[in-house]
Amino acid sequence: MSWQEYTIFLLESIGIYNRDLMLHYYRKIKKFMIWHKNKYGVKFEDIPDVADTKLENQKKVISWRRMARAIEKNDFYMRRLSFGQTKNDDRELLELIHKWDNLLNKNTKTDDKLLQKVIQETCK
């Protein structure tokens, strides 16, 4: 399976259980691709499956592996794709917590400290 196929598989798998979360990730990835197209001229079909690991870790190149890893890590704010935390993201996260409290609650396991902080504050 290629990294592109794996990224799509992850999105579709999330969508089975939580369409709202899948659409959130989809919008972020789409914005990420559009930014790279406008800034560097990288078309959708030209996105590499993998790039130099060092450059990926420095967030300097686009790759399907980088997108898949962000989803794997449950990176809600998509910081691995150079996004920051926004008020819209916080509002969307709160809506998801309230709507899907059986899937996203105070016991949710994540390495994302900002996400965990918002969850803990919301689910008191």
Q: What is the pLDDT of residues 96-112, one digit of tens each?
A: 877 876 666 667 767 77
Cα 98 → chain centroid:
20
Would you state the pLDDT for residue 24?
A: 95
What is the C-alpha to C-alpha distance for residues 29 and 104, in angstroms, rounded to an integer?
A: 21
Would you state the pLDDT for residue 123?
A: 66
- pLDDT tier at 117, thresholds 50, 70, 90: confident
State the distance between the two ends of the chain, measured CA to CA, in whole angstroms.
Answer: 41
Average pLDDT score over residue span 17-27: 93
CB 64 within 8 A of CB 7: yes
What is the C-alpha to C-alpha distance for residues 66 and 46, in angstroms, rounded to an integer?
A: 15
Q: Is the pLDDT of residue 10 over 80?
A: yes
Cα 91 → chain centroid:
16
Neighbours of 68 (CB within 10 A): 22
Identify the residue whose tokens are 């910081």: 79
The residue type at 120:
Q
Residue 1: closest CA among 62, 65, 56: 65
